[in-house]
Amino acid sequence: MRILSGIQPTNVPTLGNYIGAIKNFVKMQNENQDADILVFVADLHSITVPRDRKDIKKNIRSLAALYLASGLDPNRTHIFIQSEVHEHAELGWVLECNSYIGEMERMIQFKEKSAKEGASVTTGLLTYPCLMAADILLYDTNLVPVGEDQKQHVEITRDIAIRFNNKYGETFVVPEPMIQKSGARIMSLQDPLKKMSKSDPNPKGYITLLDDINEAKNKIKRAVTDSIGIVKYDTVNQPAVSNLMTIYSSFTNMSFDEIENKYSGLGYKEFKEDLSEIVANELTKIQTKYNEIINSNELDKILDEGRDYASRIAYKKMAKVYKRIGLGRY
Ligand code: AQP
């Protein structure tokens, strides 16, 4: 079985990316000893909206180090940078020629992000699901651990794979999304109806894995809460507290019932104080490891190994794809 996923280096990952994706990668790594696991830095995806080149460079390395600091083990998981394996872009093009503009325009992320970008929406923002399909299909991936917001893109990957297989003969494995039950959609700390996003213009809405610890604690303490005043998991009437409870539960493994019992008769203040300490502990652990890794030669060795491993698989698949379609001489 092969498992693959990636994150865009658009900023430092947030608690949303960590709980919805990275923690899940680590869990799958630890629970599937026989699986072949690839996790990449999705840098080609990060340029669908204009970015500062220095920021991208910094975020690429930093994301790779955060994967390791969060528990990905380079002896078990191959970590690489997407743009260093050129077949991603090549297969992306082939898949663009085997998908339809109408299906790209229906993607929720495209609708949301293009509404924000206004007149300057890039073509890449529209066709990005084809590149994501290429990321997955290049490696005969069986399982793709993602947060809820990426489910639609894995579904379109399945449609494209089935279409291609029907048209040109069996070429791609049809993948499954792997979405955990709790934590797949962490919401903004300032607006519980909006997804926590690392490119949110309001930094109070998210906590990144590299935030200053005191600043992170303050963001939890100042997170919006509901007016009811009871710590209760109820996403309809108390979405803000329910979101904080999801973060609490994810870091402590306590169930919502256990959390409700613990804070029964107490207000939000105690709950938020405790949560801020829990988050601070988790961030401190990650940041300590991150600081050991970020400037080490070890990181480059790991990324070289990951690139070489991924390239060997991608090269073979791309040759097969070109052969199936009739491109080139062979
Ligand atoms: N709020 C979230 N809760 C749970 N999971 C989340 N993910 C993203 N936000 C949340 C999951 O994190 C992985 C990486 O996502 P990505 O960087 O490739 O793109 P994204 O989904 O667009 O994430 P962001 O943080 O919202 O990035 P920006 O702001 O740059 O667009 C995916 O598995 C995603 O589901």
Q: Whose CA is nearest to atom 2 of ligand 1?
A: 16
Q: What's the rounded Cα separation, in Å, for the pair 306 and 210?
A: 24
In whole angstroms, give the CA distance from residue 248 to residue 245: 5
From CA 120, how far away is CA 50, in angstroms rounded?
10
| Distance from the alpha carbon of residue 197 to the mean position of ligand 1, in angstroms | 6
pLDDT value for 229: 86
DSSP 3-state of 238: strand
d(CA 62, CA 12): 7
Distance in angstroms (rounded) separating the CA atoms of residues 31 and 194:
32
Order of strands, edge to edge, in the sheet holding 143-145?
A: 77-81, 36-41, 2-7, 143-145, 176-178
- What residues contact residue 209 under an 8 Å CB cut-off, 6+ apart? 12, 13, 14, 15, 18, 66, 69, 70, 283, 286, 287, 290
Atom of ligand 1 nearest to the CA of 5: 33
3-state secondary structure of 5: strand
Q: What's the pLDDT at 268? A: 92
Taking the centre of ligand 1 as the mean of its atom positions, its distance from the CA of residue 130, in whole angstroms, is 17
Per the CB < 8 A criterion, the answer to whether 225 and 268 are in contact is yes
Q: Average pLDDT across each block of 10 residues of the chain; the chain has 330 residues. List them in order.
A: 95 95 93 94 94 94 98 97 98 97 92 81 94 98 91 96 98 94 88 92 95 97 90 94 96 96 91 97 97 93 98 98 92
Residue 43 has a pLDDT of 97
pLDDT score of 49: 87
How far is it, in rounded angstroms, from Cα 162 to Cα 103? 15
CA 58/CA 298 separation, integer angstroms: 17
- 325 alpha carbon to ligand 1 midpoint, in Å? 34
- Sign of the Cα pseudo-torsion (306, 309, 315, 321, in order): negative
Contact call for residues 159 and 22 (beta carbons, < 8 A): no
- pLDDT given for residue 9 in this prediction: 96
β-bridge partners, 37:
3, 77
CB under 6 Å to ligand 1: residues? 7-8, 10, 14, 16-17, 19-21, 42, 146-147, 149-150, 184-186, 195-199
Protein residue whose Cα sits closest to atom 26 of ligand 1: 197
Q: Whose CA is nearest to atom 10 of ligand 1?
A: 16
Helices 108-117 and 151-168, axial angle in degrees (round to 10):
120
- Cα of 212 vs centre of ligand 1, distance in Å, is 21
Nearest-angstrom CA–CA distance, 149 and 8: 14
Which residues are known catalytic residues? Answer: 113, 195, 198
Ligand 1 pocket test target in 70, 149, 191, 242 with most atoms within 8 Å of CB: 149
> Which residue among 3, 5, 7, 206 is best mutated to probe the pocket of ligand 1, counting the most ligand atoms within 8 A of its Cβ?
7
Distance 248 CA to ligand 1 centre (A): 19
CA of 254: how far to CAs of 203, 249, 259, 260, in Å? Answer: 28, 5, 7, 10
